[in-house]
Structure 1
Amino acid sequence: MDHFFTVEAYLPAGARTYSCVHCRANLADHNELISKSFQGSQGKAYLFNSVVNIGCGPAEERVLLTGLHAVADIYCESCKTTLGWKYEHAFELSQKYKEGKFIIELAHMIKDNGWDAREFRRNSSI
């Protein structure tokens, strides 16, 4: 069964956000970032508590670096690019914190909005 999330949701203007590198659709607010220490199939990935503008495929069991999980691929609702996955179920107790959370690979997202202004202020005060 497919799961669908908010389509064409816009995160607050001026907030530090992440967007799809392919179509610039908003994906996540920086405040929803849990960890930058994850590995996707194409390299580094971030773990988020919640995301927007994504679709979710059917869950399947996969053996990942941290053991067996039931995961569902997630994709950008705008351009349909696969971005990462959602943890539906963790079979090991130590991995339960991942359930319901989302992995987005860095290869598919960019920093957007408030990042530039904050970087400018930091650099101009040096």
Structure 2
Amino acid sequence: MSRTSTSTSDTPPPHPLIFPLYLLPPLPFLPRASNPARGKKPAAAAAAPPEAHLPGHTQYVKCRSCLSDLCPTSHIISKGFTGRHGRAYLLTTLPAAGITLSPPTPRPLITGMHTVSDMACAVCGENIGWKYVSAEKEDQRYKVGKYILERERVVKVSAWEQVAGPGVEGRGEAVDVDVDDEGELEELFLGLWTAEGAERRRRGRV
């Protein structure tokens, strides 16, 4: 019996490999040329200034020890000064009702000899900085009449002037965040804190 040979031409071609397309990275989405504004945020969605969301917002500097008001943060003209306990603010003015001043005393400072009056909180007596009375160097005399406020001895607290609304008596008084109330601090962190809601909650606890 003779053995028949098979021609290579009769061998079927190999099956083509199919590449799994799901392994390819997704194609980037391109906006249609006919609509150039596609993908852009509308003008109404642009970030609004903070005043639109927080009417009457003011930030105050308070004594860290007793939380009594010292001045608005708008009185700060420089944050790059150094006090006895580290960094300090330079202020244009401070309300006399919130502080007490010691008699002027000559004192050598980093920038030369100055005459200063030590400054304390009028409520708790904590030393919070000093007032420049005079300076020997001419280039340092711009500080005369201004105040140094120790950053380690004060805190910044935000407040909103109360706005009249349904069920809220608009008295125009500033309502501060209660730093001892964990619920209020959490609302402030989430951007949900309002002066009206805080006052209603406080009235409910009385």
Q: TM-score, normalised by structure 1?
A: 0.79
Deviation string for 1:26-57 (max 9, x for gaps)?
11211111100111111111000111300000
Considering only CA atoms, is the larger Rg found in Structure 1 or Structure 2?
2
Within the alignment, does 1:21 sit opposite 2:67 as a pair? no
The answer to whether residue 77 in structure 2 is matched with residue 34 in structure 1 is yes
Provide structure 1 residue ranges, at least 5 long, that are not aligned to the other structure. 1-12, 122-126
Q: Tell me if 1:99 matches 2:144.
A: yes
The alignment covers a number of residue pairs equal to: 108
Of 23-32 and 108-117, the range deviating more from structure 2 = 108-117
In structure 2, the residue matched to 1:46 is 89
2:157 corresponding residue in structure 1: 112
The alignment yields a C-alpha RMSD, in angstroms, of 2.1
Aligned partner letter, 1:74: M
Q: Amino acid of the residue matched to residue 132 of structure 2?
A: Y
Q: Distance in 1 between matches of 2:90 and 2:123?
A: 21
Task: List per-residue Cα deviations over 1:64-118 (Å, max 9, x = no partner).
Answer: 000010001000000000101000001111111100100010111000124977x
Q: Which runs of 4+ in 1 moved over 3 A?
A: 114-117
Asked if the contact 1:29–1:51 (Cα under 8 Å) also holds between the matched residues in 2, the reply is no
Name the one with the larger strand percent. Answer: 1
Q: TM-score, normalised by structure 2?
A: 0.49
Instruction: Provide the rounded CA distance (Å) in 2 between the counterparts of 1:67 and 1:93.
Output: 11
Any idea what SS the aligned residue of 1:58 has?
A: coil
